[in-house]
Amino acid sequence: MSVNTSPMTPPRYHDLGQGARLQWWPALLPDDQATHLLQQLTEALAWQQPQVRVYGRIHTVPRLTCWHGEAGIRYRYSGLEHCATGWPVILQPLHDAIETCTGKMFNSMLGNLYRDGRDSMGYHSDDESELGNAPWIASYSLGVSRDFVFRPKTGSHRRQCFSLPLGHNQLLLMNPAVQQHFQHALPRRAGVNELRINLTFRSIQAKNR
């Protein structure tokens, strides 16, 4: 599948503070391409629902996940190790388009499929050692809109400080200071019955290959 390599809309910006900046494009691809891609990714990728150990207890992750990237790339998160075998044909054009749009290089992708509003992602930062000291993270969304919320990592008031509705065909780029100073989450949402796919592109450092 070929995709448009130029974003359909200009970027918007929001400064969270402490040098942390969000940049997002409300529409990356033509709408018909994005809708077709959503259906393809839902059916073609090997979605799984893993279990993780947290404080000695096993928990089922409240969403489906998949991991892809350049052959040989390894990534460990939440106690799980993933080894990429190469970009699937369906993802390569999208990967290239996102690199062109953002001007950043990404060698791997963590996918999340939220089946409805009961699926969620808790507060965390994409700051694992495999990502290096200054990771750029690109997040592409397909499907129903869900709120993407942020809060400071430290301080006396670790409350939500910004909420960004991420809708269908929207691309978000987070600069390194976002992971250094903030956490993000995708909360549950009552009444949401449609699925959402989020593809988070990042670059694993060479020492972990």
Annotated binding site for 2-oxoglutarate: 112, 114, 124, 184, 196, 200, 202
What sign has the CA pseudo-torsion 148, 41, 136, 83? positive
CA distance 19 to 48: 36
Answer for the pair 145, 163: CB distance below 8 angstroms, yes or no: no
Please write down the long-range contacts of 161-165, taking CB distance under 8 Å and 24 or more positions apart.
161/16, 161/17, 162/14, 162/16, 162/22, 164/14, 164/22, 164/24
* Sequence-ordered list of residues with C-beta below 8 angstroms from that of 189, at least 6 positions apart, any chain: 117, 146, 147
CA distance 183 to 180: 8
Question: Binding site membership for substrate: which residues?
Answer: 75-77, 127
Q: Which amino acid is at 203?
A: S
CA distance 45 to 172: 22
CA distance 142 to 157: 32
CA distance 14 to 173: 11
Question: Binding site membership: which residues?
Answer: 75-77, 112, 114, 124, 127, 184, 196, 200, 202
